[in-house]
Structure 1
Amino acid sequence: MSTSPAGLELRPLPLPASVDADDAGDFVEMVRVRNLISTEISGHDDFHLAPHELLPAYAPDPNERRMLWVVVLDGEMVGRVGVDIPLEEGSRVAYWLVELRRSVWGRGIGTAASELVERTARAHRRTVLQSWAQHPASADPRLPSPTGFGSVPRDHSARFYLRHGHTLEQVERISALDLTDPRLNAHLQGLLEQATVAAEGYRVVQWELPTPPEFVEGYAWMKSRMITDAPAAGLEFDEEVWDADRLRRHERFYLDARRRMLVTAAQHVDSGDIVAFNELVVGGDGTQATQQEDTLVLSEHRGHRLGMLVKCAALIAWRSVAPGSPRVLTTNAEENRPMLDINEAIGFVPIAYEGGWKKVLSPGE
């Protein structure tokens, strides 16, 4: 067991009822520190969130328990620790994060935080720890993904994971699309026309949250398939059951955060089933970077260019939703070549890479 640095506190963070509440000061400061760390890692502010946008993510959820600590050193907040416990039956996984200001690296704080993560996982009878970290370009030697697709540098974060018994399981590519390019709309229209021809027997349907009642069942089914159909490499994910109630709770995160989401789906005409979908999300003022969240084409409906169909239709419609958003960010597994082919044809370019890391706890470790 390590010795924690003098003056270090790993303090549980009580969640305020709102960001305007009298006791919201620590939460607001945590979000400020989170955003500073994000900029230190990525070099930009595209992943920043306002306090009112992040707070709904910690609302009570019957499908997951989320715990949060702030890292305080000599009275100054310098980071945060999070552990998420899925409550699916039989789950053995805990997801975690440790985020620290660069100025306090190398002082044993990360090790103390890692010990807290493992104690918490064991207390909830979890034996698989999984975490993701962005690995900016560096001159460090490369660590290849065991999938055979992609690599990350053996940078500060990678060395931390390796030192604490984690293995790299998957590499994900973060890509960006410049929405200010005046040629983009004509390019998207051309791709959409080609995809529409290939997607005979399917039609595009779109909505902003909340989901219209006629699409709730199909959209919930698609969300459940994200776990089973998306590439997972050696990472472990619990199969999830989504119904209308779970979908509505999921949507409340965006609605309560005053963030806008456009869902673009492909509907099989004969059956009426939703068989592909794409999500675009932006902050309420519409001037932040857009986050492309889940995209999926059901395996049994692949081969009809439905991925290209929903992505292009979404991006064309998005200009009316958020005309001030400068770019779109998306993340895909490096082995997901079909989706990367679509992104590259649209004009997405890689800007960073993430590693998916895993540790299996030994009994009594």
Structure 2
Amino acid sequence: MTTPDVEFRPLALPESVDSPDAGDLLEMVHVRNLVYREITGHDDDAMPADELLPHLRSSEYETRKMWIVLEHGRVIGRVGVDLPLEEGSKVAFWLIELLREAWGRGIGSAAYEIVESYARENGRSVLQSWAQHPTADGPRLTPPTGFGEIPEDHAARFYLRHGYSLEQIERESAFDLLAGFGAVESLLAQAEAASSDYRVLQWFAPTPAEYADGYAWMKSRMATDAPAAAMEFDEETWDAARIAEHDARYTDVGQTLQVTAAQHIATGELCAFNELVVGKDRTTASHQEDTLVLKDHRGHKLGTLVKCAGLISWRALVPDSPRVITYNAEENRPMLDINEAIGFAPIAYNGAWKKVLS
């Protein structure tokens, strides 16, 4: 799609960042990182192109499509749509990210036409998206869950104008890895005392074969067991092959992924896990990815167990990483209680937005 000054060009992914055709990717990643800095005021969400590239590729589990937005030949943003490939899926996830200089000129709305058209072409009727809404004065919006609020800012007005409803607030929190660990150590001791029927296991990706099936089952429960409000997620099928594909997206580019799990001693079942990730540059922020306790094993402080055990080993592994970033639904009080006790503090709030196409 092209206007007189603006072009939306499909992004062709190169074999590597060193390929002769990597120019569009490199410019896209540069602008992506600038957009996040404009929104957040920091670079904790920045990624180098070689580490982002594997996460942009389609797989047998998901189709990923991206366009770069150019004005007078210069990249000013990107548009992305992800289509889960679970059987019968009606869901599409999307993003539109533009430099602030491009706001207010209809470029975002033109980009959204691409999103909705692509979703319809692929039989998707449930469109969902997330955006950070920095603190601002003025009117507020509250989701139907009743937990949390965001300002009715530029991004919120964009979603509302295009027929979206705010369904959930997601809290972004940070834990200072360079501060004292007394609370973490104390909480770990309490969790160990409350979970004597369980042991802690840890590994780094790639996942050892003996843990692949159990880890796969827990990953499959993320889509069904985590609080989602009215957002829709397909039940996912995970197996050892999908775990291997998941792990490779990190290990192939030199990122470190640590998994801390709780194993039920009597049965050998893996029943809780926590993931921590850092890029090749270990002086950058770490990110806590998925954390889950299987429903049948809740009530034994396993969430505290895997989080605290993970953080303690992580600090020794990456002593120069300044903080860990994590995200939780604002209504997920059990997990937020754990995070707050550990020392995670809220730094931002994201809106989860949804539209059902007619």
Report deviation, 1:287.
1.0
> 2:88 matched to 1:90?
yes
Kindly provide the CA deviation profile for residues 4-40 of structure 1, in whole angstroms up to 9, marking residues without a partner as x: 7530101101110000000001101100000000000
Runs of 4+ in 1 over 2 A off after TM superposition: 3-6
- Equivalent residue, structure 1, for 2:215: 219
- Equivalent residue, structure 2, for 1:245: 241
Q: 2:142 aligns with which of 144, 153, 157?
A: 144
Q: Residue 262 of structure 1: SS of its match in structure 2?
A: strand
- Equivalent residue, structure 2, for 1:179: 177
Q: 1:14 aligns with which of 12, 15, 23?
A: 12
Separation in 1, partners of 2:79, 2:56: 14
The answer as to whether partners of 2:169 and 2:329 remain within 8 angstroms in 1 is yes
Aligned residues: 358
For 1:214, the aligned partner's letter is E
Separation in 2, partners of 1:60, 1:344: 36
Kindly provide the CA deviation profile for residues 277-308 of structure 1, in whole angstroms up to 9, marking residues without a partner as x: 00000011211101000000011111000000
The answer as to whether partners of 2:183 and 2:341 remain within 8 angstroms in 1 is no
TM-score under structure 2 length normalisation = 0.99
Q: Residue 171 of structure 1: SS of its match in structure 2?
A: strand
- Equivalent residue, structure 1, for 2:29: 31
The answer as to whether partners of 1:4 and 1:108 remain within 8 angstroms in 2 is no
TM-score under structure 1 length normalisation = 0.97
- Equivalent residue, structure 1, for 2:284: 288
- Equivalent residue, structure 2, for 1:332: 328
Alignment RMSD, CA only? Answer: 1.0
Alignment of 1:141-290 (within 5 A): 141-181=139-179, 183-184=180-181, 186-290=182-286
Separation in 2, partners of 1:44, 1:201: 42
Separation in 2, partners of 1:38, 1:188: 30
Cα 1:199–1:305 change in 2 (3 A) is same
Report deviation, 1:76.
1.2
- Equivalent residue, structure 1, for 2:345: 349
Kindly provide the CA deviation profile for residues 70-107 of structure 1, in whole angstroms up to 9, marking residues without a partner as x: 00011111000001111100100010000000011000
Report deviation, 1:258.
1.4
- Equivalent residue, structure 2, for 1:122: 120
Report deviation, 1:321.
1.7
Report deviation, 1:346.
0.3
- Equivalent residue, structure 2, for 1:105: 103
Separation in 2, partners of 1:5, 1:61: 32
The answer as to whether partners of 1:19 and 1:52 remain within 8 angstroms in 2 is yes
For 1:83, the aligned partner's letter is V
For 1:72, the aligned partner's letter is L
Which consecutive residues of structure 2, in runs of 5 or more, have no partner in the other structure?
A: none
Kindly provide the CA deviation profile for residues 297-329 of structure 1, in whole angstroms up to 9, marking residues without a partner as x: 011111000000000000000012211100000
